[in-house]
Amino acid sequence: AQKITQTQPGMFVQEKEAVTLDCTYDTSDPSYGLFWYKQPSSGEMIFLIYQGSYDQQNATEGRYSLNFQKARKSANLVISASQLGDSAMYFCAMRGTSSNTGKLIFGQGTTLQVKP
Amino acid sequence: DAGVIQSPRHEVTEMGQEVTLRCKPISGHNSLFWYRQTMMRGLELLIYFNNNVPIDDSGMPEDRFSAKMPNASFSTLKIQPSEPRDSAVYFCASSPVTGGTQETQYFGPGTRLLVL
């Protein structure tokens, strides 16, 4: 069975500093994708970044980067130069290929608060 | 380009009433997903359509829930009769079908449902 674990219910970071949000996963699929979404207090789910299991390099999107360690089954999100607008809930998600349903499995989320 | 559109954004109803949630996916996306988000259970997939055909409805809680996708640009999720435990945020998401794991799902703003 596939599973996503986010062990940090809440995190604080000072504005302009970097922060790492942890995500570990479990899957038996040889090929899979990992996603991070942001959910601000307004409620919408915003796609941030994607990492494929066979990608040679860690994904980056602006201030977001993914620290992908395949052997450890971790896909941590790194936010550089935190801004007040980064305060939100962050979800790690995974999609495998074995079931071929396109289903995303989500973690429980991490709430990030950026302090001025 | 317009994102995923959901209506209504908020719905308050009384137990026993029928509730219909609507979704318009992003044009050109072949896959459509309905999710439910609660504090207790997090984000859970209810049903997934591919090319208007239901592929995986294993997450539909019970017979009170039904979903349809009569064409590529419209889907409904119906709850009849509604119960207080159905209170949640219901998200619709769509994704293109490209093959593989990099089929990013883009979420609508959600419908906040409160059943009294």
How many Cα neighbours within 13 Å face the side chain of B58? 5
Q: What is the pLDDT of residues A57-99, one digit of tens each?
A: 999 999 999 999 999 999 999 999 999 999 999 999 998 766 5
Please judge whether A45 and B50 are an interchain contact, meaning their C-beta atoms are less than 8 angstroms apart: no
Please judge whether B56 and A44 are an interchain contact, meaning their C-beta atoms are less than 8 angstroms apart: no
Q: How confident is the model at residue B56 (pLDDT cuts 50, 70, 90)?
A: confident
Residue keyed to tokens 């996963």: A25
* Residue A95 vs residue B24, higher pLDDT: B24
Smallest Cα–Cα separation from B110: which of B62, B84, B77?
B77
CA distances from residue B115 to A47, A115, B15, B16, B82 in whole angstroms, order as listed: 29, 36, 6, 9, 7
Residue B98 has pLDDT above 70, yes or no: no
Q: How confident is the model at residue B99 (pLDDT cuts 50, 70, 90)?
A: low
For the record, the structure tokens of A40 come out as 């601000």
Can you list the positions of beta strands (E) in chain B?
5-7, 10-13, 19-24, 31-38, 42-50, 53-56, 65-71, 74-79, 88-95, 106-107, 111-115
Please judge whether B104 and A47 are an interchain contact, meaning their C-beta atoms are less than 8 angstroms apart: yes
Q: How confident is the model at residue B62 (pLDDT cuts 50, 70, 90)?
A: confident
Torsion of CA B86, B91, B96, B100, to 10 degrees: -70
For the record, the structure tokens of B92 come out as 């619709």
The nearest CA of chain A is from the CA of B20 a distance in Å of 20
Check CB contact of B114 with chain A, cutoff 8 Å.
no
Mean of per-residue pLDDT scores for chain B: 93
Q: Distance from CA of residue B114 to its chain's centroid?
A: 16
Mean of per-residue pLDDT scores for chain A: 93
For the record, the structure tokens of B67 come out as 């979903």
Cβ distance B64 to B53 under 8 Å?
no
**Amino acid letter for position A72:** R
* Residue B71 vs residue A102, higher pLDDT: B71
